[in-house]
Structure 1
Amino acid sequence: MLQISICDDNLDELTNMVRLINLYSASKNLSCEHAVFPNGFELVSALEKGKRFDIYCLDIIMPGFTGIDVAKEIRAFDKTAPILFFTSSPEFALESYSVKAINYVLKPISKEKLFFTFDELLEQLHSKKEEDSVIVKSSEGLQKILISNLAFAEVLGRSVLYHLRSGRVVECTEPFSAVCDKLLRHTCFIKPHRSYLVNMQYIDTVENHRLTLQSLSSVPIAQGKAREIRQQYLSYQMERE
């Protein structure tokens, strides 16, 4: 189920967007729900209450709280969700990139424009989902592990243990070098020790000899690598800002 938010202070534009998105989802046999917001304040209020969306469709020129302002608030809650700007003016195109908007579409929004934009967006989302996972072979068979669910991996004897954020551990028999090749392609992973790979989004503290994760698990840092690990972690956090 795809969750879409639509924010526009113009009721006619809001109604048109809902109509076009309904047409699109029907034509693609896509399961989705949408929520409409007549101003940015109501959308941000929903986010503050814990509501999240897979896609954000924002008008830019809105009184009091512009679409750019709303997008900055969204990024405080969600660094990666696609933001689509729909606007009558091209003057904010450059500023839209500061909040990592995925597209910038000029009004009026026609069926052709919206269908083309959403086709591109869903293709990117599909590709991202494929990239952000690994397939592993355990005693239970082939399993797909989402990168966002993987806290760390370690080698123990001839086994590789994948520690998921839920606390579940998936045990596989495969060369750790192959695991390193797969996971280090993702910029969120570091190798603090020859036997461990850690997803930096789950790091709580970096000390001289160990990493403490949000789950309170402890991962050793190899002798002499603490400075390098701190720098990698700092760079990762700065890129996410």
Structure 2
Amino acid sequence: MLKIAICDDEKYYRDYIKRLLTEYMNRNQIESCIDLYENGMQLFEQGIKLAKYNIIFLDINMEELDGIKTAYKIRKFNPEAFIVFVTAFINYVLEGYKVDAIRYIMKDSIPISLVECMNTIVKKMKILMKKMSFSFIEGEKQIFIDKIIYVESQKHKIMFKVLEGRINTYSLYDKLDNMEERLKEYGFLRIHKSYLVNMKYIEKISNYRAYLSSDEILPIPKQKFQLVKEAFVLYKGE
């Protein structure tokens, strides 16, 4: 069951988004529980209970505790939730990156944007639960695709960096081209002839480098930089 929170200080939008979400869930036969909050403080007061939510819709322009500040506080309890900003303004994009918001929905285009947003989230959630089997040199192993940070080509082997509480490394004999074909539909991007990166773990792309949340910095060739940057922006949904 998907657990969703909607936080908006205008009752009209709380009820409107809930109705559209309920219709979406019914069409797609997805069980859900939707809670409504009148302001950011009321939502934040849930404390550790915030961890139960899979998706949180936040109005940006709220009094006392706006959507951006609320999102920062939410991340302390729930780093994995999909945060969706609902706003009449588009000048908060950079702040949204910092809290890893998946989408901005403009209030004048909610019906269309919400469907696209939910389709993206549902697809990503399916990926979160999907495993893939690999015949590593270290032995046969099933890995959650979402936990692969990146794959690196080293001579005749490819090395997997996998987040499993800590970052573990596994290797197998194969070509990175073959692995790119297997993983490209799951949000992986070939940023370099030697690197295939899960875009979920890219924090920013700048100065011909990809900065990862694992504190690693990977090079991007000058001739590929613009294409890589555009693909990353598209992935982020901007």
Q: Which TM bucket (shorter chain)?
A: 0.5 to 0.7
2:168 alignment partner, one of 178, 182, 190: 190
SS at match of 2:64: coil
CA distance in 1, matches of 2:43, 2:26: 25
Structure-2 residue corresponding to 1:8: 8
Identity of aligned residues (%): 26
Gaps of 5+ in 1: 137-142, 149-179, 192-234
SS at match of 1:56: strand
**CA distance 1:51–1:102, shift in 2 (3 Å):** closer
**CA distance 1:95–1:51, shift in 2 (3 Å):** closer
Structure-2 residue corresponding to 1:125: 125
**CA distance 1:113–1:94, shift in 2 (3 Å):** same
CA distance in 2, matches of 1:144, 1:22: 35
Structure-2 residue corresponding to 1:36: 36
Q: Report the CA distance between 1:237 and its aligned residue.
A: 8.0
Structure-2 residue corresponding to 1:84: 84
Q: Greater Rg, structure 1 or structure 2?
A: 1
Q: Report the CA distance between 1:185 and its aligned residue.
A: 3.5
Q: Report the CA distance between 1:135 and its aligned residue.
A: 5.4
Structure-1 residue corresponding to 2:72: 72
Q: Report the CA distance between 1:114 and its aligned residue.
A: 1.2
Structure-1 residue corresponding to 2:108: 108
Q: Report the CA distance between 1:181 and its aligned residue.
A: 5.9
Structure-2 residue corresponding to 1:213: none
CA distance in 1, matches of 2:95, 2:6: 20
Aligned residues: 160
CA distance in 2, matches of 1:65, 1:127: 33
**CA distance 1:185–1:146, shift in 2 (3 Å):** closer
CA distance in 2, matches of 1:11, 1:181: 51
Does residue 31 of structure 2 align to residue 53 of structure 1? no
**TM-score normalised by length of structure 2:** 0.58
SS at match of 2:68: helix
Amino acid at match of 1:90: I
CA distance in 2, matches of 1:237, 1:97: 17
- Name the Cα RMSD after superposition: 3.2
CA distance in 2, matches of 1:62, 1:109: 19
SS at match of 2:129: helix
**TM-score normalised by length of structure 1:** 0.57
